[in-house]
Amino acid sequence: MGSLALFLGILIFSFVLTSIAVVPFINLLYKLRFRRQKQKTLDTFGKRTLIFDKFHADKAGVPVGGGLLVVIVVSLLFSLILPTLNYFGIEITSIHNNSQAEINILFFTFLSFALLGFFDDIKKFFHFSSSNFFGLRMRQKLILQVILATVIACLIYFQLEISILHIPLIGTLNLGYFYIPFAAFVIIAFANAVNVTDGLDGLASGILMISLFGLWVLSSTILDVPLSVFIALWIGSLISFLYFNVFPARIFMGDVGSMAFGATLAVIGLLLGKVLALVVIGFIFVVEIASSLLQLLSRRYLKKKIMPAAPLHLTLQEKGWAEPKIVQRAWLLQIMLTIFGVWLAII
């Protein structure tokens, strides 16, 4: 009961602090002109998306970069709270022998992918890129993601000695050195999946918030204090951000948030040793990135599109679904996916 009260209090504190800072932060983004550009409505793969233009033209001018505030708040509080807990004699228990390595991996993932996304956002909105591409080229971004994800995977493998994959109802599979490319792939996939999903007001942030509640339950049941504190801070800050991100949004997450959040979500799943449960919990993210990838491959090799637009939420809009309807139904589906994923992780 004491641990639960502590984690809930940390969540509330993070929510309050972010709520105090978010309106001044939105005003700052307006002053810096860090906002969505009307003439730059391109998809993840650098192609113009007419359906996106049709449904999202009114979003031009809304500030982008709200994920940066969440990253700053969570990182600062995480760096302060753990030493404070230790000072007051609260043991920082972890599922791993090296809790400091776990903390460092969380920090490195969160901040490195945030910096990559922030750099991409700056190139987009301040026009530091050449005229023939939007932000970073897909290839450039992927190379940087591969480098970062491989470093993180090596840290998990060598410092925490994690190399197993838990398969519900079957057991565990030791991947050995193959764990490194496997973990790197999971990190890259989720970083891009959350980025692709962040296309409707409240869609990615709401799905992420519900997903984190599931992972929070798992980390709390194994008494992993660093993970539980980090997720509590993240949820609290994300709820405050989501208040301003729901339809009609006053602020968007930006690549600085979507890349950092997707990569860190994957790393938490890896640290918990529940990758298959993570895939279930993050299934909507998986479907969104898969739809974009299939559209790209179809366009390249079949010379035609298999859907009106990608990712999937754009096709649903083209079919006549209102934006709030898509988002709210996605949230409801996410609640059940999270419950199912947590159930798989504990059986």
Residue-level pLDDT at 86: 86
In degrees rounded to 5, what are phi and psi of residue 174?
-85, 115
Mean pLDDT of the chain: 90
pLDDT at 131 over 50: no
Closest CA to 256 of 117, 144, 148: 117
Give percent of the chain above pLDDT 90: 71
Residue-level pLDDT at 53: 66
DSSP 45: T
Residue-level pLDDT at 127: 58
Residue-level pLDDT at 60: 81
DSSP 311: S
Residue-level pLDDT at 137: 76
Q: How many domains does the structure of the chain reveal?
A: 1
Q: Which residue bears the tokens 């890259």? A: 188
Please give the structure tokens belonging to residue 249. 């949004």
Spacing of C-alpha 293 from chain mean position: 18
Task: Report how far residue 300's alpha carbon sits from residue 265's, in angstroms, rounded to the nearest whole number.
Answer: 31
Q: Which residues pair with 42 in a beta bridge?
A: 48
Q: Which residues pair with 252 in a beta bridge?
A: 64
Exposed / middle / buried, residue 2 (Cβ in 10 Å: 0-12, 13-18, 19+): exposed
* CB of 22 closer than 8 Å to CB of 235: no
Residue 338, phi-psi category: left (phi > 0), alpha (psi -120 to 50), beta (remainder): alpha
Strand, coil or helix: 283: helix
Q: What is the dihedral of CA 271, 272, 273, 278, to 10 degrees?
A: -100
Report pTM: 0.93
* CB of 66 closer than 8 Å to CB of 251: yes
Residue 202 sits at the vertex; the CA angle it makes with 338 and 145, to the nearest 5 degrees, is 75
pLDDT at 115 over 50: yes
Containing domain of residue 240, as a range? 2-346
